[in-house]
Structure 1
Amino acid sequence: MIRAAIVRPAGAWSEAPADRVTLSYDDRHRRRIAMRGDGGLAFLLDLPEALSLRDGDGLVLEDGRIVAVRAKPEALLEIRARDAHHLARLAWHIGNRHVPAAIGAGRILIRPDHVIAEMLEGLGAELAAAEAPFDPEGGAYAEARHEAGGHAGHRHGAGDHHHAAGEPHHHAHGDRHPHSHERS
């Protein structure tokens, strides 16, 4: 089976793709898996480390062809605000809870979560169900990885990092324990 071992970030390739793979947000975090493109091309994704593939990335096959990555539409929660300041404030609260979020002009998209929705409503957000491709912000370390062509850059995991309050703390980003970084 032909392999794809290199990821070219969205915007870093212009060839016509040999095929496309349309994947949900969860299915785009991969290292090694047999895949079949939307047009039927079978290949093995075989990356040196697990990466979060982004909409528009190109998977480079051994023969030089590219398979385009597309974000699959999924059920989301659309968040709107009164003004830009209010939207920034809502984004801060979402990020403070480590919820993946796609930030666009005038709106934020997250996966449906009734606890987060209640918090946002309490902060005055306008919420609506939406269906769209989910391609959340990757964070500073993921952006560095993407700009380096998929192989360089620091992988952020458990360890020290700083938040808006300026205090470091330790936790694994895979944990889903609700916590706050706010100071009293």
Structure 2
Amino acid sequence: MSRDVEGTTVMARAIAVKAQHEFGAAMPADTVVLDFADRNRPGLKTSGVRGLAIEFDLPEAIMLRGGDALVLDDGRLVDVVAAPEQLIELRSRTPGDLVRAALQIGSRHLAAQVLPNGIRLRPDAAIETVLAALGVKITSIETSFDPEGGAYAASAHDHDHHDHDHHGHDHAGHGHEAHGHKADDHKHHDHDHGGHDHDHHHPHD
């Protein structure tokens, strides 16, 4: 742990990641709720929901995903939850239209989350104009973002990400998706959510 000049504990250092970790009966030391950008920000300094100050000191670039656990320098674990954020979701009438949309997204090297029948990405006015011209339906939503990873992300997670179950401990009071739940499992709702943590969809004009 880092300490100030008076010896008071300042923050714990996160030095490794356990991919899609299951806590079981054990309780994590704390939980961090982070959006996609913060989950992949080197040297991030943040606080858990119970007040634990944490500094990322990971040895290499890792695509941190919701459901992973940070390993602190004292051996404790911190649960990682993917925070909801503003996204756009693409749907199309034909698979071909979606493939053409994917090619446009890939050519611009934009982070994208591939669903069985759609694509999610962060709002981007330029690409939205291109996609609209292709006839793709664009819907504004609020949910967690778990895009496809590059080679470094695959190597960091492959040893744990196969055949895992998602841990089911509760995070009462957080308006976010639970750990590692597949994004395509979420139903679209047009009614008022009244504080429920469903995806929120707002079709573009």
- Give the alignment's TM-score, normalised by structure 1: 0.72
Amino acid at match of 2:34: L
Q: What aligned pairs does 1:58-73 form with structure 2 within 5 A after superposition?
A: 58-73=69-84
Moved over 4 A (4+): none
Is the Cα contact below 8 Å between 2:40 and 2:62 reproduced in 1? yes
2:56 is the counterpart of 1:45: yes
Distance in structure 2 (CA, Å) of the matches to 1:148 and 1:67: 19
- Give the alignment's TM-score, normalised by structure 2: 0.65
Pick the aligned partner of 1:7 from 14, 17, 20: 17
Pick the aligned partner of 2:112 from 101, 106, 123: 101
Distance in structure 2 (CA, Å) of the matches to 1:44 and 1:110: 27
- Structure 2 counterpart of 1:91: 102
Q: Choose between structure 1 and 2: higher strand proportion.
A: 1
Matched positions, count? 147
Pick the aligned partner of 1:119 from 130, 151, 175: 130
Is the Cα contact below 8 Å between 1:30 and 1:53 reproduced in 2? no
Is the Cα contact below 8 Å between 2:62 and 2:152 reproduced in 1? no
Amino acid at match of 2:114: I
Structure with the bigger RCO (C-alpha within 8 Å, sep 6+) is 2
Amino acid at match of 1:14: E
2:29 is the counterpart of 1:18: yes
Return 5+ residue gaps in structure 2 as ranges: 2-11, 161-205
Distance in structure 2 (CA, Å) of the matches to 1:33 and 1:119: 34
2:49 is the counterpart of 1:31: no
Is the Cα contact below 8 Å between 1:30 and 1:51 reproduced in 2? no
Distance in structure 1 (CA, Å) of the matches to 2:101 and 2:44: 37
Instruction: Report the CA distance between 1:18 and its aligned residue.
Output: 2.3
Identity within the alignment, %: 46
Q: What aligned pairs does 1:123-138 form with structure 2 within 5 A after superposition?
A: 123-138=134-149
CA offsets per residue over residues 82-105 of structure 1, 9 Å max, x none?
Answer: 133332332122112111111112
Return 5+ residue gaps in structure 1 as ranges: 150-184
- Structure 1 counterpart of 2:185: none
Instruction: Report the CA distance between 1:148 and its aligned residue.
Output: 5.1
- Structure 2 counterpart of 1:180: none
Distance in structure 2 (CA, Å) of the matches to 1:105 and 1:17: 32
Is the Cα contact below 8 Å between 1:25 and 1:71 reproduced in 2? yes
Amino acid at match of 2:95: A
